[in-house]
Amino acid sequence: MGSWARGRARTSLTRRPKQAALLWASDAGRRSQAPPQPAEARYHSGRGSNTLVAVKILLATSNPHKSGEITDVFAALRSQAATDDGACRRGAVAEDLELINLRDLEETIPEPIEDGDTFEANAELKAAYYARRSGHLCLADDSGLVVDALDGKPGVLSARYASVTGARSVVDEANNALLLKNLGDLPAEQRTARFVCAMVVCGPGRASEDDRKPSVPREVVLLARAIGTLEGRILGPGDDGFGIDNPRGRGANGFGYDPLFVLPGSGTTTAELSAGQKNRISHRGHAARRMWQRIQEAIGDP
């Protein structure tokens, strides 16, 4: 596991060719075409078909908050697709899409080492790793907080910013405390920040004779990816609940940096939003909706 995560050059990761190039979906509303890649153009079920009759996607996260948010967004989209007469074909695919979690697997899979230097790299690393180990289509995300005054930190180290281990509540509080300490008493206009979420779906390639040999790595196909962001700022001087020594900020919902992340206009923190409100505007909600569309395109098109 460790050697694979550290030595990704040894990984067999198949991508789409030029005529079916992978597309990034981003908040800018643009799709940037990936460079031409040799590979199978589509994911195959292993039964000679270019589409999947029933689709199970493994959510590659042990964070219940992340899996809950993605599951809720997909459930809403599935319901919408089922009642949308203009999306009959894709709705049929959507109804057969089931999300499963790591705890649903018979085997406990050790977590990979996330050593990418971007959210996109880490999301791809995790999706490929779990697809290879589980044999399932796999959706992974990597997300975090980017603070302008801190030159983009915590960034990809958001979950490990304070280098503290333990319960999520303990880690979150330590990370928030360090963030407030590093920003000090900077005014609101210098506390701009954004949440970023990169999502990737990978799947195992076609079975071969070599796949039955434990020493031969399973080929992995990169199917889709998407990005979502949420702009805001960090709680600061003049805000209710602010204190350099108050890492709990404002609000009892959400997780991570939510109690410190102030939304523009409303002055509300994301921890003061209900789950539904947050999913409608959050970085992960945006990425999940774009990923839903990418999944339909990847597995539902003739």
Catalytic residues: 142
- The HSE-up count of residue 10 (CA atoms within 13 Å, CB side) is 12
Amino acid occupying residue 295? I
Distance CA 114, CA 4 (A): 11
Distance CA 220, CA 265 (A): 44
The answer to whether residues 239 and 267 touch, using CB atoms and an 8 Å cutoff, is: yes
The answer to whether residues 89 and 301 touch, using CB atoms and an 8 Å cutoff, is: no
Distance CA 282, CA 289 (A): 11
